[in-house]
Structure 1
Amino acid sequence: MNKTAVKSLQRILRDAGTYSGKIDGLRGPLTNKAVNGMIEARRDGFPDAVEGWSARRRAVACLQRGALDRDIEAGPVDGLWGPQTDFAADSLATLFETGEPPPAWRDEPVVDVNPNGWPREAALIEAFGSPCEANLVRVPCPWTLSLAWDLRTTCDHIGCHERVAESLRRVLERVYAHYGEERLRELRLNRYGGCYNCRRKRGGSSWSTHAWGVAIDWDPDQNKLRWGRDRARLARPEYDPWWRFWEEEGWVSLGRARNFDWMHVQAAKP
């Protein structure tokens, strides 16, 4: 359980009347005692086997029970942290932060606007010039970025084609204002996979949009090229505002548009 999940657990325990400590995201003795208190008070809401579970598993079970009590689907109350519990934990975080559960994001259409007139991929040379000869500029990033393949290496800017720079700046500022530094780290949106890269498309022969510096990859380890919505982290509902900020500037998520390469966003229409 990460710090955000423990905070949600502590709020559940507080509402259950067994916890009166700080909402600090630390699962210490007070939290563990409150977990035991909730299980004892709500014995009919937990399986009999809970008595033999570890402290961590009992804590996860209380998180699951709390999600179900709030009409958030968490699967069985088994104390095991799988994809359904992970989804429920993110939904709880949104509920406690905003007072509302996350919207049914998969029922919403992808924003299809193009205020900056981004070209189709077939017209990239006409719009941006030859690949690998981009006029690159540095756009400051409001939060600290870590290279996804070497987290010890950090940077404070993104190098991109000069034509997309102002749009990128606006997106980054909106993202930071919405999420803040700590939440961006929790969501792994500080894990930067690069922008300009003079290369062909992986699994293809045409030039990648990275060759013009008009595409950016985010958290590639958890959003691999062939992964779809069932596996990609960036397909989760807590990232919906993130994608909206990009889409309102006309940038395209290949994940949301075509359900692959969820790490990738580009200032070009497929």
Structure 2
Amino acid sequence: MNRTDVRTLQRFLKESGSYQGKIDGLRGPKTLAAMKTTLKAHADLLPAGADAWSDKRRAVACLQVACRLRKIEVGPIDGLWGPQTDHATEVLATIQETGKPPAPWRDQEPLDANPNGWYREAELKEALGSPTRKPPMVVVPCPWQLCLAWDLGTHPSGIGCHEMVADSLSRILTRVNDHYGPEQLREMGLHRYGGCYNKRRKRGGTSWSTHAWGIAIDWDPSHNRLKWGRDRARLAQPEYDTWWKIWEEEGWVSLGRTRNFDWMHVQAAKL
């Protein structure tokens, strides 16, 4: 539960008349008092023993109550932050901001947007030059702390990529961090960075990998192995829907979502 989620909670508490403070994303005394009032008013929704929960768990429970009252499917009111609570809170936040729930995301095919004019794979050698020569590189800072997937004690300062994709990548990382927050990104394994530039051919193939031009990134390789499909890959799970939507709105392509293999891989090149 990050500051964005606390702001969603504060808006609910303000709408219900129990909170008069600022929408600042901080669980201060006024927020805690409003939570107590709200949970007391909806004690029939809480399980036995809820009085002994920590303030953090009670805050999650209060958000779950808010979702339940809005008829958003949130699961049990248990004060525990899991994928269902995360999704329900996102729906609640969208309703607060727009007055209506978000359009169904999982019913849609991967977005085929290309606002940055990415080349197709077949055009890369002609457009960007030989993959045997190192491309013009830029290091894009990452708002959350990265760890090398194969050496979790090593923390890259950013992602080295082709200069062509640097601005787009920076926008994506900022949006992802704003949406999930560093704590949740770590819980989701999105701090496990599998690399960007790598002068090599595709694993299991003969053509050059998009990594050779520095326009592809791997995330959490150990939980999203090359041959794994939706039944096994971590990045295929529902809590990563917004993650993929943010990439696809910038025209990046997930091999997992388009081909159902190599779910770790996302590239700024059309297939």
Q: Please indicate, yes or no, whether the TM-score normalized by the shorter chain is above 0.5.
A: yes
- Provide the residue aligned with 2:5 in structure 1: 5
- Provide the residue aligned with 1:211 in structure 2: 212
- Provide the residue aligned with 1:171 in structure 2: 168
Deviations 1:37-89 (A, max 9, x none): 00112233333443343333322111111112233221111222222112223
- Which moves more between the two structures, 222-231 or 15-24? 222-231
| 1:178-193 equivalent positions in 2, closer than 5 A | 179=175, 182-183=178-179, 186=182, 188=185, 193=194
Q: Which runs of 5+ in 2 are unaligned?
A: none
The SS at the match of 2:250 is helix
- Which moves more between the two structures, 81-90 or 140-149? 140-149
- Provide the residue aligned with 1:119 in structure 2: 121
Deviations 1:25-45 (A, max 9, x none): 222333222211001122333
| 1:73-88 equivalent positions in 2, closer than 5 A | 73-88=73-88
Determine if contact 1:118/1:268 at 8 Å carries over to the other structure: yes
Determine if contact 1:234/1:262 at 8 Å carries over to the other structure: no
The SS at the match of 2:199 is coil
- Provide the residue aligned with 2:157 in structure 1: 154
TM-score (norm 2): 0.72
How far off its partner does 1:241 sit? 4.2
How far off its partner does 1:195 sit? 1.5
Counterpart amino acid of 1:43?
A
The SS at the match of 1:265 is strand
- Provide the residue aligned with 2:255 in structure 1: 254
Determine if contact 1:102/1:237 at 8 Å carries over to the other structure: no
Q: Percent identity?
A: 46
Deviations 1:208-254 (A, max 9, x none): 43234231235x2796334748842786343354133333xxx4211
Change (3 A) 1:221 1:40: farther
Distance of 2:246 and 2:212 partners within structure 1 = 24
The SS at the match of 1:216 is strand
Distance of 2:50 and 2:41 partners within structure 1 = 13
The SS at the match of 2:102 is coil
Determine if contact 2:255/2:261 at 8 Å carries over to the other structure: yes
Determine if contact 2:141/2:157 at 8 Å carries over to the other structure: no
Change (3 A) 1:101 1:192: farther
Determine if contact 1:171/1:245 at 8 Å carries over to the other structure: no
Counterpart amino acid of 2:168?
V
- Provide the residue aligned with 1:266 in structure 2: 267
Determine if contact 1:253/1:266 at 8 Å carries over to the other structure: yes
- Which moves more between the two structures, 25-34 or 45-54? 45-54
